[in-house]
Amino acid sequence: MAGPAQWANHYPTCGGSRQSPIDITTTTGGNVATRSLTFSGECGNFNLTQTDETFKASVVGGSCAASANEVSYNMAQFHIHAPSEHTLDGKPLDGEVHFVHSNADGSALMVVGIFLQVANGGTTDPWMVSVLDGMEAVTPAAPTMMSLGSYANQVNANAVRTYNYPGSLTTPGCDEIVDWWVVQQPMSISSADFTRLQTQLKELHVTDNGNNARPEFSTPIDITTATGDNVATRSLSFSGECGTFNLTQTDDTFKASVVGVPPPRSVMNGKPLDGEVHFVHRVMQTVLRFLDVVNSGKTDPFMVGSYSKLVNANSNRLYNYPGSLTTPGCDEIVDWWVVQTPISVSSNDFKRLQTQLKELNVTDNGKNARPILPLDGRKII
């Protein structure tokens, strides 16, 4: 998946002039909204769902709406970011709740943002406690219902200083259709409850989670094969069988998930190979196999038809290092094992692979690899 710096290459609107989020300068008088923001109706019931990307609470029944700038919008859903997306005077806050409203046909949105701030020794707002309870109960396979107090009360209680500007969605395609209202005064959350929030967000594959990625622990890296201590001496073993996979396609990737089991790109000697296969384990240990085009050869049967046999067949030279996910939020939680000997793939079959990757919205003409990052003191063994 392309990072924010590359979004405009795939979604031109992401390079527009009205993009969000922004830094809000609180000392500038003109930034304090003087227009009215009002709420009506009630909607206390929400259906909370969990996907790879987010936790989202959608309104169930109810008729609550918000009005601003002479336009009325119906409440649709809310979700949470940690740390905050907007910043105040150049500084992010601990989190940010986005209450998303839509006009009748979905062509315009109004989003109200309320910050979260850890109150050391303080208590968590009761509304947020209920949300955290729901996040701990929901699973990707089982949504959960939440009964919450009026979200308008959360806004109105701290809406003395509210900042309004025309902006965009904060994820691709970055449509510039959002009337943003950001409340300066944050909602309080205790240190213990903020840890609960971070724990839930860390389960997501592509999320901000309060642990900003540090480049010295990022993936992918360049692997120097000539260095003697690069040959892994630690044991890597496999057990059990899992030969059935469910293949899904999204805008970002093709993903093959194991059926029947509970629910990034390195370079050698400065030269990238033609592709890689990542086998991701629940404990975030990742075994990687390169793909190498063999112009006159045949494709490995795995690529056209026990993945562990695929690894073991060529695992005499394994490279191991501590790294990260290669897509946002780049969590530094991965124990990487890279097999030097590649899987063979014929030129014709490699073209088949490129053809499929070109159908994804976030690939560079069939290329979907993150740029190489520095080791910065890490040791490959």
The pLDDT tens digits of the residues spanning 224-256 come to 666 554 445 555 666 666 666 677 776 667 677
DSSP secondary structure letters along 98-137: EEEEE-TTSS-EEEEEEEEEE-TT----HHHHHHHHHHHH
- Packing angle of the helix pair 191-201, 126-137 (nearest 10 deg): 30
Q: Which of 105, 117, 43 is nearest to 71 (CA)?
A: 105
- Residues paired with residue 257 on neighbouring β-strands, in sequence order: 246
Q: What is the pLDDT of residues 139-186, one digit of tens each?
A: 999 999 999 988 888 777 666 788 888 999 999 999 999 999 999 989
Task: Answer whether residue 115 shows pLDDT above 90.
Answer: yes
DSSP state of 364: B
Task: Kindly list the structural domains of the chain, giving each domain's residue range(s) and its CATH number in brackets, ordered by start.
Answer: 4-201 (3.10.200.10), 215-357 (3.10.200.10)
User: How confident is the model at residue 332, as a pLDDT?
Assistant: 67
Q: Please check the confidence at residue 60 and state whether its pLDDT lies above 80.
A: yes
Render 271-316 in DSSP notation, one character per residue. B--SEEEEEE-TTSEEEEEEEEEETTS---HHHH--HHHHHHTTTT
Per-residue pLDDT of 297-313, as tens digits, reads 666 665 544 556 656 66
In this prediction, residue 372 carries a pLDDT of: 64
DSSP string, 165-184: EEE--SSTT--S-EEEEEEE
Taking phi over 0 as left and psi of -120 to 50 as alpha, with beta for the rest, 283 belongs to alpha
Q: What is the distance of C-alpha 323 from the center of its chain?
A: 17
Between 65 and 213, where is the model more confident? 65
Q: Copy the structure tokens of residue 365.
A: 């003409």
